[in-house]
């Protein structure tokens, strides 16, 4: 395979991967096969070799855009589940769960309902 074969979607794949999406999720969003996404991530971009690795233990409350954090905190305070919030914001449920846990540990979430 030529290295330039998937150049038009390479940046999109990398951005989605760093946002926390899985290979299968990225493949569904872009309309390609999961093995193509794997090829781009691991052969072309070498994301598994450390420097390009997606962050695992980041401070999501500080790193995510302020308006998304505020929306997640507000919706959680009013009793929405993480699944409902992830569907509303079109973000992975695992990322919303981590954000909620971090916000709870910092006492930013106070259930109103």
Q: How many other CB atoms are found less than 10 A from the CB of residue 95?
A: 19
**What's the confidence (pLDDT) of residue 1?**
46
Instruction: Look at residue 107 and tell me whether its pLDDT is greater than 80.
Output: yes
**Helices 23-30/7-18 angle, 10° precision:** 130
- Residue 21 burial (C-beta neighbours within 10 Å; 0-12, 13-18, 19+): buried
- Distance of alpha carbon 1 from the chain centroid: 29
Top-confidence range, 19-23, 31-35, 63-67, 91-95: 31-35
- Closest to 82 measured CA to CA, from 70, 94, 71, 69: 94
CB neighbours (10 Å) of residue 51? 6
* pLDDT tens string 43-94: 888 877 665 445 555 677 887 889 999 999 999 999 999 999 999 998 889 8
pLDDT at 33 over 90: yes
């Amino acid at each position: 395979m030529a290295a330039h074969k998937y150049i038009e979607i390479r940046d999109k794949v990398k951005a989605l991967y760093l946002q926390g999406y899985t290979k299968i999720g990225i493949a569904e969003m872009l309309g390609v096969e999961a093995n193509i996404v794997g090829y781009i991530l691991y052969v072309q971009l070498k994301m598994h070799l450390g420097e390009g690795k997606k962050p695992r233990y980041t401070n999501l409350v500080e790193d995510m855009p302020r308006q998304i954090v505020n929306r997640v905190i507000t919706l959680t305070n009013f009793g929405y589940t993480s699944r409902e919030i992830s569907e509303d914001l079109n973000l992975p449920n695992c990322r919303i769960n981590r954000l909620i846990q971090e916000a709870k540990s910092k006492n930013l979430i106070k259930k109103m309902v």
